[in-house]
Amino acid sequence: MMQLAVWAQSGLKTGDVAPQFTVTDNLGKTISLKALLKTNKAVLLFFYRGQWCPYCNKHIQQLQDSLQLLTAKGAYVLGVTPETGDNINKTIEKTHASFSIVHDKDYRVMKAYDVNFAMDAAMVAKYKTYGIDLERNNGNTDNVLPVPATYLIDKSGKIIYVQFDKDYRKRASVAAILQKL
């Protein structure tokens, strides 16, 4: 019953044209998908819930551990999250992530890739019992999270690999991503 909000999202599919976006990353750098695709073979775009999520941190750590393999094959790694800059810094402290991470404040990127969903009041209350305060973490009151999803976008702007699973424990493996590069 509590998963209903998530079920509405289906994410983009392999073969879809990746929606263009321009954002500012955690270091204040302007990032445009169009510009990234001009200078890289591919963009690995992934969405994560927040620094409080152990599955997110594990996935980010795996991407960081394999970053040289990914960049050697021409991939630019970009993380997108609804969490604030201070909390992105906590994620970086925990995972040592050295790639760009974007605070998707208005959920523009999350909505474009159809991964955003609003948690219902019961789920928000349940998370608070775990010590997770989404309002404080995301700096707003609408309790929007992404389905943790990973998209690999090729030079032509097409999505060539998708990992989209409503079970937040399941993430794209680095091996699967490297196979597509």
pLDDT digits (tens, 9 = 90+) for 4-27: 444 557 889 999 999 999 999 999
CA distance 61 to 68: 13
CATH code, domain carrying 107 = 3.40.30.10
Is residue 85 included in any domain, yes or no?
yes
Residue 18 lies in a domain: no
Q: What is the pLDDT of residue 166?
A: 84
Is 131 a domain residue? yes
* Domain span holding position 133: 4-12+23-180
pLDDT of residue 5: 46
Residue with tokens 């995301």: 138
- Is 124 a domain residue? yes
* Buried/exposed code over 145-179 (b: 16+ C-beta within 10 A; e: otherwise): bbbbbbbbbbeeeebbbbbbeeebeebbebeebee
Summarised one tens digit per residue, pLDDT across range 100-144 is 999 999 999 999 999 998 888 888 889 999 999 988 999 988 889
Residue recorded with tokens 């991470």: 101
Would you say residue 147 lies in a domain?
Answer: yes
**For residue 61, is it within any domain?**
yes
Position 68 in a domain: yes
Q: In the predicted model, what is the mean pLDDT of the chain?
A: 92
Task: Count up the domains in the chain and report the number.
Answer: 1
Is 17 part of a structural domain of the chain? no
Q: Is the pLDDT of residue 3 over 60?
A: no
Residue % of the chain over a pLDDT of 70? 96
**pLDDT at residue 158 greater than cutoff 90:** yes
